[in-house]
Structure 1
Amino acid sequence: MHGVFLDQSTLNPQDLDLSPLQRSLDTFSTYDHTSNETVIEHINTAEAVITNKVVINRNTMLACHNLKLICVSATGTNNIDLDAARDLGICVKNVTGYATPSVVQHTFALLLALTTNWHQYHQGVKRGHWSRSPFFCLLDYPATELAGKQLGIIGYGELGQGVARVAEAFGMRIAVAESLRRDAMPVSGRIPFDQLIAESDVITVHCPLSDETRNLIDAHVFKAMKNSAFLINVSRGDIVNESDLLAALEQEEIAGAALDVLKEEPPSVNHSLTTSSHPNLIITPHSAWVAKECRQRLVNAVAKNIEEFRLNARK
């Protein structure tokens, strides 16, 4: 089976062991990047294709007659035309669970930055503010304890549950929103979305992007939140309306926000959020998953998906 990795550089493979991928295929070609214009050329006669963010649409599938398997080296599959794959009998496999330790860790790195302002204190020390202080400490920026605060979780899969476990160690109270899927069955202990928004001190987003979640966090939600509340989004950028978020921060409808994802990635140089000077807005560059251990688990899981597909195809 011949396989092609369309955007291998997105994994920063220099420090990874790629041998599991190489063993899973008879022949294996890689490209650092693949543009929309070259995707068909790069897949060409491949039977299996690995993509992280390269879009594979119906036209591409129709043009690549040998294609049998699409492996997404991520959890989200919004870059794949799933309806087309189903119609054409092409198997699509993603990877779940690989990033949980890293994303949970990053969620709390963002939350702790918002609640302790440690990054601003660090900069104050570097600028000499502590050395010039008449007191033994600096009190320039507010700090908030997590203990006793309510953490509202939107999306309670593996990531949401991992965040909940760590939050409990901080002494936080956990609230979980009811599923936003129209066909979801009620789950005991979960609360309505509007109630979670109004009552939570921290709201953290861990749900997939879908028709139900696109622009889920908008002006209406920000107005309903506590003005002391923080928002964390390490899921998908389209879930948060970015212009509404900036307005909410400027109007002090919420206390702060930290995002690891944006609607446009990479963002334009004049993106409204990345160029904002608001002190309580933190942006990281979709880096919650970049730990070496996390990326290696991803490689191993993609290889396993290929091996399982080939095994089932032989039966």
Structure 2
Amino acid sequence: MSQGAPHRGVVLVTGADLAPQATALLQDYDIVYAGKTPGEDDLVRLCAEHQPEAIIVRYGRITRRVIDACQSLRVISKHGTGIDTIDAVAAGERGIAVKAAAGANAPAVAEQTWAMIFACAKDVVRLDKRIHEGHWDKATHKSLELKDRTIGLVGIGAIGARVAMAAMAFGMKVIAFDPYASRSLEGIRMVDLDTLLAQSDVLSLHCPLTDENRNMINAAALAKLKDGAIIVNTARGGLIDEEALVAALESGKVRAAGLDSFEKEPLTAPHRFQDMDNVILAPHIGGVTDNAYIAMGTGAANNVLAVLQTEGATS
């Protein structure tokens, strides 16, 4: 900003880029990028230097320490839906709004969910590797047919509802557990968690991570599953007790798992999952598509403007 220029508010983006459609919405603000993998110290330094009025969260964690470095912060806007990387308590104490781009990546994550379900049910990755190695397993292999089987959804929001619609198209039965659902959807039977675990051939997670549901899929929950069930997680890694899942995969209690999120990210190597051929792994990219990149960016930018422009008009 040149000397003598009028003051422009700063929006800090905890990433290296933002969709052009989003930056166009924020044309009246100076945008500061934190880089691809900002740590807490990086964010504290940038906040102290630039004093942003808004933070758009792509990567890294917005801790109390980061928030305390900001004197002018009015809104923390997630580039996506999960706000578990933001200290909402610390923000609330300061009257700082915390917003998510709800539904922006729902189509992308629902598609990723189905990619993983199919990969698990049809053993796509292992068979591909085998045939590349010169094997022909037609005489010994049997895939899992999904028609008439039951998919259990933990969470029936924008993503879970899309997964459910696809499941119905494939002739599956759909059950769901969601204590926060405001309405029931046609074709979906709402059940308690124990019933869902006991009846699911495919278990798919679509809920936010909270202190109450951390490690909800633990050894006790896995023991209630049908033998040979598939587990897919495109939500948050902390929902699953990873050691308990390893044991269930090794014993055959769980046929296969498709995991797009992990307790610690990036996935700490070496990890037991990396040596298991009945686990499909992805680097938390369910919501990373061309369309979702734009939708999440514009959603996050609009959430910033909704707070800053409203406050500016009433101040």
What CA distance in whole angstroms lies between the structure 1 residues aligned with 2:25 and 2:209? 33
What SS does the corresponding residue of 1:37 show, helix, strand or coil?
A: helix
Correspondent of 2:87 among 81, 90, 104 = 81
What CA distance in whole angstroms lies between the structure 2 residues aligned with 1:4 and 1:43? 10
Superposition deviation, residue 76 in structure 1: 1.3
Correspondent of 2:128 among 116, 119, 122 = 122
Correspondent of 2:34 among 31, 36, 49 = 31
What CA distance in whole angstroms lies between the structure 2 residues aligned with 1:163 and 1:139? 32
Moved >3 Å (runs of 4+): 184-189
Superposition deviation, residue 21 in structure 1: 2.2
Superposition deviation, residue 117 in structure 1: 1.5
Superposition deviation, residue 19 in structure 1: 4.5
Q: Quick one: structure 1 residues 199 and 19, their matched pair in 2 at CA, closer, same or farther if it must change by over 3 Å? A: closer
TM alignment of 1:62-81, pairs within 5 A:
62-81=68-87
What CA distance in whole angstroms lies between the structure 2 residues aligned with 1:120 and 1:58? 44
What CA distance in whole angstroms lies between the structure 1 residues aligned with 2:210 and 2:154? 13
What CA distance in whole angstroms lies between the structure 1 residues aligned with 2:22 and 2:258? 35
Q: Quick one: structure 1 residues 22 and 49, their matched pair in 2 at CA, closer, same or farther if it must change by over 3 Å? A: farther
Is residue 14–residue 55 contact of structure 2 (8 Å, CA) maintained in 1? no
Q: Please name the residue that 2:211 is paired with.
A: 211
1:214-236 per-residue CA deviation (whole Å, 9 max, x = no partner) reads 00001111111111211111110
**Alignment pair present for 1:238 and 2:247:** no
TM alignment of 1:74-113, pairs within 5 A:
74-113=80-119
Is residue 236–residue 262 contact of structure 1 (8 Å, CA) maintained in 2? yes
Superposition deviation, residue 5 in structure 1: 3.2
TM alignment of 1:1-315, pairs within 5 A:
1-9=8-16, 13=17, 17-24=19-26, 25-32=28-35, 33-44=37-48, 45-130=51-136, 138-179=138-179, 189-273=189-273, 275-276=274-275, 278-313=276-311, 314-315=313-314
Q: Quick one: structure 1 residues 296 and 187, their matched pair in 2 at CA, closer, same or farther if it must change by over 3 Å? A: closer
Aligned-residue CA RMSD (Å)? 2.1
- The one-letter amino acid paired with 1:31 is A
Q: Quick one: structure 1 residues 37 and 222, their matched pair in 2 at CA, closer, same or farther if it must change by over 3 Å? A: same
TM-score by structure 2 length? Answer: 0.88
What SS does the corresponding residue of 2:190 show, helix, strand or coil?
A: coil
What CA distance in whole angstroms lies between the structure 2 residues aligned with 1:26 and 1:222? 49
Q: List runs of 5+ in structure 1 lacking aligned partners.
A: 131-136
Q: List runs of 5+ in structure 2 lacking aligned partners.
A: 1-7
What CA distance in whole angstroms lies between the structure 1 residues aligned with 2:175 and 2:19? 40
Q: Quick one: structure 1 residues 220 and 292, their matched pair in 2 at CA, closer, same or farther if it must change by over 3 Å? A: same
- The one-letter amino acid paired with 1:118 is V
Is residue 34–residue 43 contact of structure 2 (8 Å, CA) maintained in 1? no
Is residue 6–residue 34 contact of structure 1 (8 Å, CA) maintained in 2? no
What SS does the corresponding residue of 1:49 show, helix, strand or coil?
A: strand
Is residue 201–residue 226 contact of structure 2 (8 Å, CA) maintained in 1? yes
Q: Quick one: structure 1 residues 279 and 59, their matched pair in 2 at CA, closer, same or farther if it must change by over 3 Å? A: closer
